[in-house]
Amino acid sequence: MYYLCYFTENNSIDAYEGNDRMVKLEVKNLYKIFGPNPSKILPLVKEGASKEEIQKRGHVVGVNNANFSVYEGEIFVIMGLSGSGKSTLIRCLNRLIEPTAGEIIVDGQNISGLGTKELTEFRRKKMSMVFQNFALLPHRNIEENVAFGLEIQGLSIEERLKIAYESLDMVGLSGYEKAMPSELSGGMQQRVGLARALATNPDILLMDEAFSALDPLIRKDMQDELITLHDKMRKTIIFITHDLDEALKVGDRIAIMKDGVIVQVGSSEEILENPSNDYVKEFTQDVNRAKVITAASIMKKADAIVYSRDGARVAVRKMRDNSISSVFVVDRERRLKGIITIDDALNLIKTNREDILEIIDTNVQTVSGDVSIQDLIPLFINSKYPVVVVDENQKMQGIIFKASVLAGLLGEDDTND
Amino acid sequence: MIRLPIGYYVEKAIDWLTYNLDSFFSMIKTILLAIINSFEFIFTGIPFIVMLLIFVIISWKVAGRNVAIFTAIGLVIIKSINLWQQTMSTFALVATATVIAIVIGIPLGIWMSFRDTVNSFVRPILDFMQTMPAFVYLIPAVYFFDLGPVPGAVATIIFAMPPIVRLTNLGIRQVAEDVIEASRAFGATSSQMLFKVQIPLAMPTILAGLNQTIMLSLSMVVISAMIGSGGLGDVVLRGITQMRVGLGFEGGLAVVILAMILDRITQSLGPKEK
Ligand SMILES: Nc1ncnc2c1ncn2[C@@H]1O[C@H](COP(=O)(O)OP(=O)(O)OP(=O)(O)O)[C@@H](O)[C@H]1O
Ligand SMILES: [Mg+2]
């Protein structure tokens, strides 16, 4: 009996959260050369012949020695300019395009070696695809479109419609089962495309510029939706885009492609902070850093802290030593209590009192480390103190000055002065 | 300039074919005759009023009320000028030619759409079939199949088949590449692709080809009557040869009515736009 088991794949979550993440898909030395005689040109490409040289011989290099691994349950983004070979690469993964050389290994199985029958089976069960222009079947209504993958697997009409309805429900399109694709807006059509891809319950979802044809607002909705769905189902997703903002938003890791070559693979922050070459740098230049850079990445270690049991004199000395006019107070577990100023502390000493808890100002803004700079900015409006980064137990991790936020926005590195 | 003896060689070839493939031709003749006769048996066997009802219901279902009314009036006119019998026998011939054109033409068109070599080989043959004056087929057809409805049907098939082949080929080639790609990505086999995606999407085009094929077979009615296929063509022919303008006109009118009914019905076939 066939049924959906989206919520039972918890093992993949563990694998994802842990350090030794399971590799779901591995690409090794993958080449795709278009033209009349690719295998003759391959050695030239391997020797590093230039693009022009290859072109002179009537061939085009689509993918040039791609190597990467995709972990189970992650969203792996491939980005690059138009013509960089993204579509070619992703189509090699399910062999809609036949690679010229190299290996594609999914769950330990080499896809490049599969015969017609096994390949068909692989496409039906393991991998499905969402297309830039939706590619819905115009002669079928929505439910028949969503059920298409199951229909060609030979499921009975009751079974496949049941699953199709569940899929449509998941993408928020219940009630449109009988509509024709042409009656729906672009965003809705792509939801159908997504539902169709989910209906076969594949391990891996390939999305080739799936949101590129949509209006910016709808596109943003779809990105959010994808992230929500991904959080629920933890499918491995390979997502292509030429938009860095989109890549940073949905991607766990990003691969950047240029002229068929993968020039860098890394997390959003790695790519932004350490672009491996000018091409990547150029990409990252016009990204809205405010949305991407996190509090944790710009916070600094506090120069001094005082413990709540410390007296006012200790506090004053610490502030003087570090030439600061206020200092954060934490308890024995480094949990944040508040802040005191040097003036208040001196006044306290004048009246012969010691307990700094009397003068503590608890009105300190705290955030967790994964908050983006964009969301940090408003916090500074109501606070004259630095913002404190805390973990889930309110333990103090670091502090952020207004100036660091600005520096982060400008992409300047001032974290180690 | 030297004269190429093409006509001579064609005659020799036909002689050779008649002589050597006689059993083949007589088999075809038997089959075709059986089909024509059964159609004619059915069409003329059914009482006029029942046939009228069938036509009206079908045209109503497929093409709407107006066409249904036109069909009813048209068929009553045919009956009232006493040409019902002949109309049905012409219809049987057209039906036979169409069925055979479909059975041969659609698979051929599909094959052409898959193989460019087949395409470039078959296209000139189709051009030839369609543009060679139809009278020219009559002579060899009579050689191979004697007089009667069979050579008429053969000439009609040859003349009327090209559109359905061409448009099947065109329709399948026109199916959007992204839809094909999507189906492949979901693991469709080539036959699933053909029957679930390509043919359904090509259907409007294929049906346009069917419509043209039917119209072309009706245009062969008079010509095939010259070699004895009977029906309405025979009526027209008698009108011409006996200088009876009225009779000729009545025969022609019946052909036109039948053509219009079949045209409207086949044009409305296929998926309707919402
Ligand atoms: N069938 C083909 N025959 C020849 N060259 C091809 C073919 N398909 C793609 N190419 C070439 O391979 C290169 C990579 O194309 P590809 O479509 O993979 O780029 P892309 O990164 O997806 O671009 P886009 O962002 O425009 O979709 C391009 O130079 C393209 O012209
Ligand atoms: Mg592309």
**Topology annotation, domain A296-410:** CBS-domain (3.10.580)
Cβ distance A345 to A312 under 8 Å? yes
B201 contact residues in A (CB cutoff 8 A):
137-139
Residue span of the structural domain in which B160 resides: 6-267
Index of the ligand 1 atom closest to the CA of residue A80: 21
Ligand 1 pocket mutation, candidates A32, A51, A60, A241, criterion most atoms within 8 A of CB = A60
Q: How far is CA B15 from CA A274, A334, B20, B233, in A?
A: 85, 109, 9, 29
Q: Return the residue matching tokens 């020039």.
A: A263
Q: Give the full edge-to-edge strand order of the sheet including A127-130.
A: A127-130, A204-208, A236-241, A75-80, A253-258, A261-266
DSSP A7-48: GG-HHHHHHHHSSSPPEEEEEEEEEEEESS-HHHHHHHHHTT
The reply to whether B263 falls in a domain is: yes
Give A195 to chain B, closest Cα distance, Å. Answer: 13
Q: Tell me the two tokens of residue B273.
A: 């736009």
Closest-CA residue of A relative to B272 is: A139
Q: How many domains does chain B have?
A: 1
Percentage of residues of chain A with pLDDT beyond 90: 47
Look at residue A7 and tell me whether its pLDDT is greater than 60. no
For A244-305, the DSSP string reads: HHHHHHH-SEEEEEETTEEEEEE-HHHHHHS-SSHHHHHHHHTS-HHHH-BHHHH-B--S-E
Tens of pLDDT, residue by residue over A78-107, are: 998 889 999 999 999 999 999 999 999 999
Residues around ion ligand 2, judged by CB within 5 A, are A 87
Q: Sort out which chain A residues have CB atoms less than 8 A from B274's CB and list them.
A: 180, 183
What pTM was computed for the model? 0.77
With a cut of 60, say whether residue A1 has pLDDT above it.
no
Those residues with Cβ within 8 angstroms of residue A129's Cβ, 6 or more apart along the chain or in another chain: A94, A96, A197, A205, A206, A207, A208, B182, B185, B186
- Interfacial B residues in 149-188 facing A (CB < 8 Å): 176, 178-179, 181-188
Q: What is the CATH number of the domain that holds B18?
A: 1.10.3720.10
Task: Please report which confidence band the pLDDT of residue A416 belongs to, taking 50, 70 and 90 as the band edges.
Answer: very low
Taking alpha carbons only, the member of B10, B235, B34 closest to residue B139 is B10
Quick one: which atom of ligand 1 is closest to the CA of A97?
A: 1
Residues in chain B predicted with pLDDT less than 70, given as ranges, are: 271-274
Read off the DSSP letter of residue A6. Answer: G
Which residue's alpha carbon is nearest to atom 28 within ligand 1?
A83
* The pLDDT of residue A286: 65
pLDDT at res. A411: 62
pLDDT score at A304? 85
> What was the pLDDT predicted at A87?
95
Q: Does the pLDDT at position A6 exceed 70?
A: no
Cα A246–chain centre separation:
9
Question: Quick check: B200 contacting A, CB < 8 Å?
Answer: yes
The average pLDDT across A241-258 equals: 89
| DSSP conformation class of A359 | T
Q: Is residue B274 part of a domain?
A: no
B178 and A133: CB-CB below 8 Å? yes
Ligand 1 atom 4 nearest Cα: A34
CB contact under 8 A, A122 and B187: yes
Going from N- to C-terminal start, the domains of chain A cover 296-410
| For ligand 1, atom 31: residue with the closest CA | A83
B197 close contact with A: CB closer than 8 A? yes
- Nearest CA owner, ligand 1 atom 6: A34
ipTM of the complex: 0.79
With a pLDDT cut of 70, the percent of chain A lying above it is 93
Percentage helix, strand, coil for chain A under 3-state DSSP, each rounded to 5: 40, 25, 35
User: Closest-CA residue in chain B for A119?
Assistant: B187
In chain A, count H helices and then E strands.
19, 16
d(CA B235, CA B251): 5
Residue A311, pLDDT score = 86
In this structure, the residue with its CA closest to atom 22 of ligand 1 is: A87
Contact B184 A121 (CB under 8 A): no
**How far is the C-alpha of A319 from the C-alpha of A249, rounded, in Å?**
41
Task: Give the CA count within 13 Å in the CB-facing half-sphere of B274.
Answer: 10
Which positions ≥6 away from B211 have C-beta within 8 Å?
B263, B266, B267
> A239 CA to middle of ligand 2, Å?
11
CB contact under 8 A, A131 and B189: no
CA dihedral of residues A83, A84, A86, A87 (deg, nearest 10): 20
Amino acid A17: pLDDT: 42
Count of Cβ atoms closer than 10 Å to residue A344 Cβ: 18
SS3 call for A398:
strand
Closest-CA residue, ligand 1 atom 16, reads A85
> Cβ distance A59 to A35 under 8 Å?
yes
- Alpha-carbon gap, residue B70 to A91, rounded angstroms: 55
Scanning the structure block, which residue is given the tokens 């480390």?
A: A369
pLDDT at A16: 41
Q: What is the pLDDT of residue B135?
A: 80
Q: Does residue B46 belong to any structural domain of this protein?
A: yes
Give the number of whichever ligand sits closest to the CA of residue A79.
1
Could you tell me which chain A residue has the CA closest to the CA of B184? Answer: A96
- A335-385: pLDDT as tens digits: 998 999 999 999 888 888 888 888 898 888 888 888 888 788 788 777 788
Q: Which residue of B has its CA nearest to A152?
A: B188
Task: Give B215→chain A minimum CA distance, Å.
Answer: 27
- CB-based contact (8 Å) between B194 and chain A? no
Q: Which residues pair with A31 in a beta bridge?
A: A101
Short-list A178, A169, A238, A166, CA closest to A209: A238
DSSP letter at B263 equals H
- Pick A137's closest partner by Cβ from B187, B189, B197: B197
Burial level of B72, CB count in 10 A (0-12/13-18/19+)? Answer: middle
Pairing of strands A204-208, A236-241: parallel
Residue B1 lies in a domain: no
Question: Residue with structure tokens 């959906």?
Answer: A4
Say what the pLDDT of residue A415 is.
44
